[in-house]
Structure formats: C-alpha cells, structure tokens
Structure 1
Amino acid sequence: MSEPRLINRALYLQRLGFDAPPAPTLETLRTLQLRHTGAFPFENITTLLGEPVLIDLPSIEQKVLHDGRGGYCYELNHLFLALLQDLGFDARGMSGRVVMGHPEGAWTARTHRLSLVTLDGVRYITDVGFGGMVPTAPLLLDNQAEQLTPHEPYRIEQHEDGYTLRAKVAGEWKAMYIFDLQRQEDIDYAVGNWYVSTHPESSFTKQLMVARTGDGWRRTLNNSSFAIHRIGSESERRQVAGVDELIEVLESEFGIRVPVQEALKRVLERVMEPA
C-alpha cells in the first residue's frame, strides 16, 4: 500500500514562502531546509503529556500545519520528505543514532530520522528535525571537508560503520549523530518513535526541549532555561520563572499554539522543578 500524498501542499508551501511549487533543484532544497527550521519549531510537548505521537502523514499535517504545533524528527522529517518527493526530488528516509552529549565513541539506539536526497548523481543529507543543532542547509554526503551553513559549519566523517555528522561548536568538532544508508521502512520509524516517546529512560519523556532558527540565531528552551544563540557572539540566557511565563515563551519566541490544559500546566511545573 503506497504512502498517502500530502493533502495540504499549497498551505505547506505558503508557510515556507512559496506561492507555487518550486523546481526540484539544489537551491530549492537549500531554501526549503533553511525556512523550514525557522517556520516549524522542534518541540516535544506531546511526549511530556504522555500522549501518543502519531507519525502517519495526515496526523502530522494536522498537527503542524493546522494546529500551530511543531514536532520532532519522526514528525518534521517525515513531513519534509513527503514535500520533497511531491516536488519531484529523488529522496528517501534514513535513520541515525544520536550521540550528541555522549562520550566520544558512544553507540546509541536508532532514534533519529533524516533524509537522503540525490541531485544529478550527487548525494546530500537533509534534516529539519534535530533540535537545537539542526543543520540549516543540506550537506554533501561524499565530502569530508568542512561545510558552511547559514549557522554553524558541519562536516561528515565516513567510517567502517557509516558516517558521523559533526558540528563546529565553540571551536570544537562535536559529534551530533551517526547514520548509515540502510533501507528503512515504516515499521523501523514506528519502533524508534515508540522508544523515544514512551521509554522511561528517553529524555523526550522527562524534559521539555524546544528549538527554532532564524536569521543569524538559534533559540532553545530546555525545561526552564531559555537561550538565544547568536552566530559570532555570546549567547543570551535566562531562567523562565513560572508556568505562565513558560507558556508565553513557547508562544512568543517559538510560535507554538500551546494546548493550554491543566494536565500540561502540571507537567510544565514538574519540568521546571530544580533537579
């Protein structure tokens, strides 16, 4: 049974600044990826509420395009891949192992979704769902040199088991995730999403994580710690005081239409408590 096509392509493209479907070129891919990370925030409110994260395409479209929400990799990169394929790109899904924040050489579970795009025989990875360090441009797969983006530089190292994506953060090349080109099916994403959204050891069930990009900046929110990271200058950080202010930050700084309910307020109170 084939994957359903996008229902709301015109609305999706309008949110990304296109009045008509653009041609499937590298310049289009660059523009789409940059604008996507600015238009649709990374966020995990649903997992904190203990609600199921639906990753079928109609459910994602409803949540992101109509309900004023964002999502994480299994939602945002699924939606983005559907758009790319609908526009005529040669693109397919892949998966990776997030190692950011782990010791060098760590080997974690497959819990990240990204995509591979081939243009005129040249392969790129594209990713709009990697939180506060999401690449804001497609990256050449078969090139181990430093690659510039509108934000940080990245590089892709090839090794026996696949590839490692690294970002240059504060002068250091830090590993973001490991990935390979193994074929993935819906069930693979369902398993990864189930783990991320339900396992008691998953960080997605224990802490609030929100991110969005803009012209020369990244905004991040981890529990009650809000930061604006400006390219080439010091980050601005502050602690959010109280649930009402936290909801205001989610709405004003990240553009999220917060589903205000007593259950969510209780969850936000919990994540704001000192560890």
Structure 2
Amino acid sequence: MTTPLTSLRHKGGRWPNLLATVSLVLLAAAALMMAGSGPAYRGEFVSLGEAFNLLRYGVYAAAGAAAISIITLLVSMLTRRFTPSVIAALVILLAGSLLYMPWQLWQRAQAVPAIHDITTDLQNPPAFEALVDAREAAPNGVNYPGEATARQQQAAYPHIQSVIINASPQVVLAAAQAEAEEAGWRIARIRDNHIEATATTRWFGFQDDVVIRLSEQENGVKVDMRSASRLGASDVGTNAARIDTFLKALKTRIK
C-alpha cells in the first residue's frame, strides 16, 4: 500500500539530486568569478569595472548556491536522501566562506573614511620625487589631498605617527631598505634620507606608492612615511595598515 509519505519520497527522489547539482554549479561559478576577478584585472584581460562586475556576480552566484542548498537540505530531509543533504550542507559552508571575504571588505569600508593618502606627518607630508611621473599619470595624482583628508585620518587612525629610532641614519636607512625589499615593494629611489617604492596588492594588483623620510634629531632618527593609492577614493584602510606594519617591523629589526 502506498502512503502519501511514500509517494512524496518517490516523487521527490530526483529533486534533491537535481537541486544539489545546480547548487554545485553555482558554487563553482561563484568561486571562478570571485577568485578570477583580481587576476583578470591584474593581467589586463578586463577593465576594473568589469572585474568588479565579476566579483559582484560571483557574490550573487554564491548567495544563490546557498539558497538552493537550503532548499535541497529541506527536500532531502523530507525524501530521506543522505547524499544530497551532505552536498547541500557542504555547499552552504563553502558559499558562506566565499561570501565572508566581500562582506568583511564591505564592513571595513563602512568603518573607515573614504581616503587613500595616509602619512605620519600631516603638516608636512613626505613628497614624491622619483614617482612624480607615475603618480601624475594616475587618477589620484601626486599632491597630498589636503586638510580635509588630514582631519579624517586623524580621527580614524590616531596611532599613525612618526617614530624616533635611537640609531644612526645609516643604520635606519639600511634597515628601512631591507624591510621594504622584504615586503616585496619595488624600490624607485634611495637617497641618504629618502626612500621611494611601490607596493602592489596581491589580489587586484593595485599600486600604492610609499615615501620614507628620515630626519636626524637629538635623540635619534625621526622616521616619517606616506603611503598613497594611485587609484580609488577609498583604500579601505590598506595604507594605514601598511604604515603601521612597516614602522613596527622597522623598530623590531633595529632593536
């Protein structure tokens, strides 16, 4: 005798497998679009706008994969299909992992001001010299944005300040050069009291320019930095984090 529940299991038997397959396809598409958006832009295969579109579509696909997997899980429970339910649970976890990164970036973007030029010296920011041409060709230009940016930086990153290191200028310069090279920055110029370099972000390959300026003081060498993105209104905190990390590492290296 066929009961309604038996009938449901029989009729719904193919749906869990089909839904699980669709969710897997969406998950694979999401992973390819999200992971490939940065390298595609960095390799100049797509424009920045197209790369961001790939990233956005990847988010949509990951969200779709998660939504379909929830449905798959419910249907699998009703039809008592073990394999589709396991696949659905895995897709939900993996889709959540994919969605976490853009969500985290969005959260960071909301928490920091939309600025892209950070310096330890707000009154007299270190100036670009060797990188003038590269920055003049970039959307953000070479000049420090001014007082409005300084006020926003001071409110958001009060810890970004000059440091005094009790060592000779030669020792500090050599340590700063070694730290920049270890960070993978491309050195543009090194003088007695001045280093210019370009840092390239890993995923999208955005180029941020860095100036390190040394000034002799009675109690040591004052180190000032400036890190500025060539592109974009907001750096999502990247330049401030770069300066903070570099100066901490420099002090540790010289101890």
Please confirm whether the aligned pair reaches a TM-score higher than 0.5, indicating the same fold. no
TM-score in terms of structure 1 length: 0.26
Q: Which structure has more RCO (C-alpha within 8 Å, separation ≥ 6)?
A: 2
Larger radius of gyration: 2
TM-score in terms of structure 2 length: 0.27
